[in-house]
Structure 1
């Protein structure tokens, strides 16, 4: 009778003993990485926990936007899934720390952005209206006035929303249009302005205060292209399927911007205790 499989790793001689030793070393290395939190599944969990940490939006008692306000940007497109919020798209390679000070992890630029479906204010979708011309915080933001959008401090990394003319080397992944990213340095590529959504009344509203929760356009100062959310171009992220965000002005037959270019800056409702926490 022929015996099959007599010599196995359990015999502990020759190459089988070497295999047993390698298995033990691999298991020990796995357990050490688990204790240090270096496993990929653990890092992804930390990434999600930090990005989804709640953020308090700024209340607006008089219904006007101001410099220094923390807001979220919602695209007001009329599609099957109308909720599309400008959000950070990050992975493990975007996280860094100050090794000399052993500081907490934070996002480093450049990072991608996308259109998420959740409208709950968190680190991932909260942006601070920042001055680019030494305008003090608390001053009213007006149409056609230059400003920058900055992520929250801490894990958000205080990155600025930026874009530039598209090229063969740098463009949006799906649509091949003008790419929108988050960068560390504040320069002219980070300058934006708000336009009244109706082109026939745009000139009359120049210099008027911007109201919260109002349909408007977010135009880039250098390229003169409007921020847009493309529902027909999707990205797969660690949070699931999301719309691609680009800087491109889409016009209809009446030379008016289409709904993919329409945005709304939302703040906290006065007296909303949950948002202030």
Structure 2
């Protein structure tokens, strides 16, 4: 008769399989190839805190800034929270995290309620032409590029290409905004004065940090807009959508979805109110 000590079935193969799984686990652990190790490295990279540009009189080329929509709620509809302000930030899906430790060409952009400056939500202002403009003031109505402060193998820029019939649309079926390694005409942006009646007078003038402005996509003439009605539970937490679309009232003045601030390092004299006169 068989007792409990008798080994039945494919016991030799099961032991060999267990030993092989253990060896594979140890090898991946030593090479830091385990999924948990890979995910920790991604989080350490994208949430690493960075230093914003020192406060100054005006926004300049080469400055590290955040793009913040100060009048948009930083929480989903019908939420118990009451904080305001979201910042433009990169995000990654599960496929991206499985293949890389940094943001890649084609990663989406969202608006994040986490306002702490880090790699995923800090950008560098670059000139849109071949001239060296490091330290020069960025002017109203002047084309520029927005480069993510840090990426993997190549620089990544904020880019919005008009979708075709077969391509994917963004939130609310509006033009999507992505990170791209192609700094072409679709990656060019310009800053407009928040009041349409003062844009002719302010064209070519510099503007200070933390002042409400409109960011316009050069190729389409549409505005960078927060899609507050579209919230997602991403791997980095709850984020809302962002697109290229102009939200305006009956007076053709852009509403809160299209009002942004270039945020630098905080200072005691910082003023976040809409200016009463021209810039």
With the shorter chain as reference, the TM-score category is 0.7 to 0.9
Please tell me whether the aligned partners of residues 144 and 207 of structure 1 are also in contact (alpha carbons under 8 angstroms).
yes
Q: Deviations over 1:153-176 (max 9, x none)?
A: 454842000001123333445422
Instruction: Rate the CA distance shift 1:174–1:226 in 2: closer, same or farther, 3 A.
Output: closer
Q: 2:79 aligns to what?
A: none
CA contact (8 A) 1:52 1:124 kept: yes
Question: Is 1:249–2:243 an aligned residue pair?
Answer: no
Provide the residue aligned with 2:158 in structure 1: 161
Following superposition, the deviation at residue 32 of structure 1 comes to 1.7
- Counterpart residue number, 1:30: 25
Deviations 1:56-91 (A, max 9, x none): 111133x20011111001012343442211011024
Q: Does 1:230 align with 2:227?
A: yes
SS of residue paired to 1:111: coil
Residue 60 of structure 1 aligns to a residue in which SS? coil
Give the CA deviation at 1:18: 1.5
- Give the gaps of 5 or more residues in structure 2: 74-81, 269-279
Q: Which residue of 2 aligns with 1:115?
A: 111
Task: Show the counterpart of 1:102.
Answer: none
Q: Deviations over 1:179-236 (max 9, x none)?
A: 1001012111110000111112222111111211000111000011110111110122
- Tell me how far apart the structure 1 counterparts of residues 102 and 112 of structure 2 sit (CA, whole Å): 21
Q: Are residues 12 and 165 of structure 1, via their aligned partners in 2, closer, same or farther at CA, if it must alter by over 3 Å? A: same
Alpha carbons of 1:218 and 1:156: their partners in 2 closer, same or farther (altered >3 Å)? farther
Once the two structures are TM-superposed, the CA of residue 239 in structure 1 deviates from its matched residue by 1.0
Any residues of structure 2 matched to 1:186-225 within 5 Å, and which? Answer: 186-225=183-222
How has the CA–CA distance of structure 1 residues 155 and 237 changed in structure 2, closer, same or farther, with 3 Å as cutoff?
same
Pick one of 141, 147, 172 that aligns with 1:144: 141
- Which of 74-83 and 238-247 deviates more? 74-83
Number of residue pairs matched? 258
Aligned partners of 2:88 and 2:48: how far apart in 1? 16
What's the secondary structure of 1:214's corresponding residue? coil
Q: 2:10, 2:184 → 1: CA distance?
A: 62
CA drift of 1:135 comes to: 4.3
8 Å Cα contact 1:107/1:157 also seen in 2? no
**In the alignment, which residue of structure 2 is the partner of 1:60?**
55
The Cα shift of 1:27 comes to 2.4
Q: Aligned-pair RMSD on alpha carbons?
A: 2.4
In the alignment, the residues of structure 2 paired with residue 49 and residue 186 of structure 1 have an alpha-carbon distance, to the nearest angstrom, of 27
Q: 1:241 to 1:49 in 2, by over 3 A?
A: same
Equivalent residue for 1:258? 255
Q: CA deviation at 1:17?
A: 2.3
Change (3 A) 1:178 1:264: same
